[in-house]
Amino acid sequence: MSIVSISNLSFQYARNTIPTLQNINLEINKGDFILLCGPTGCGKTTLCRCLTGLIPHFHSGYFEGDVLIDGLNTKNVPVYRLAKKVGMVFQNPENQLIAMNVERELGFAMENLGYPPETIWEKIEEIIEQFQLQTLRKKAPFELSGGEQQKVAIASILTLDPDIIILDEPTSNLDPLAAEKILGLLKKLNLERNKTIILIEHRLELVAPLINRLLLMDKGKLILDAPPEKALRDKKLKNLGIGIPKIIQLYELLEKEGIHFEKIPLTPFEFAEAIQSIRET
Ligand X SMILES: Nc1ncnc2c1ncn2[C@@H]1O[C@H](COP(=O)(O)OP(=O)(O)OP(=O)(O)O)[C@@H](O)[C@H]1O
- CB–CB of 262/277 below 8 Å? yes
Q: Which of 45, 156, 159, 171 binds Mg ion (CB under 5 A)?
A: 45
Number of other CB atoms surrounding residue 248 within 10 Å: 21
Percentages (nearest 5) of helix, strand, coil residues in the chain: 45, 20, 35
252 vs 223: CA distance, rounded Å = 22
Which of 202/233 has CB closer to ligand X? 202
Which of 43/107 has CB closer to ligand X? 43
Binding site for ligand X (CB under 6 A): 13, 15-16, 20, 38, 40-46, 59
Which of 42/83 has CB closer to Mg ion? 42
Q: Which stretch binds Mg ion (CB under 5 A): 28-36, 40-48, 248-256, 269-277?
A: 40-48
CB of 45 to Mg ion, least distance (A): 3
How many residues belong to the site for Mg ion (CB under 5 A)? 1
Nearest to 67 by CA among 87, 53, 46, 88: 53
CB of 201 to Mg ion, least distance (A): 11
The residues pairing with 272 across neighbouring beta strands, listed in sequence order, are none
Number of other CB atoms surrounding residue 147 within 10 Å: 19
Number of other CB atoms surrounding residue 60 within 10 Å: 11
CB of 208 to ligand X, least distance (A): 18
Which of 1/14 has CB closer to ligand X? 14
**E runs forming strands in 181-247:** 196-200, 213-218, 221-226
Which of 46/150 has CB closer to ligand X? 46
Nearest to 47 by CA among 202, 220, 207: 220
Residues 85-124 that bind Mg ion (CB under 5 A): none
Q: Which of ligand X, Mg ion, none sits in contact with 40, Cβ below 5 to 8 A by type?
A: ligand X
Q: Which stretch binds Mg ion (CB under 5 A): 23-31, 39-47, 230-238, 240-248?
A: 39-47
Which of 17/281 has CB closer to ligand X? 17
- CB–CB of 266/209 below 8 Å? yes
Which of 40/276 has CB closer to ligand X? 40
CB of 197 to ligand X, least distance (A): 17
Task: Indicate the angle between helix axes 117-131 and 102-112, nearest 10 degrees.
Answer: 130
Q: Which stretch binds Mg ion (CB under 5 A): 8-16, 41-49, 123-131, 173-181?
A: 41-49
CB of 114 to ligand X, least distance (A): 29
How buried is 176 (Cβ within 10 angstroms: 0-12 exposed, 13-18 middle, 19+ buried)?
exposed
CB of 118 to ligand X, least distance (A): 39
Number of other CB atoms surrounding residue 188 within 10 Å: 11
By CB under 5 A, residue 52 contacts Mg ion: no
Q: Which of ligand X, Mg ion, none sits in contact with 53, Cβ below 5 to 8 A by type?
A: none
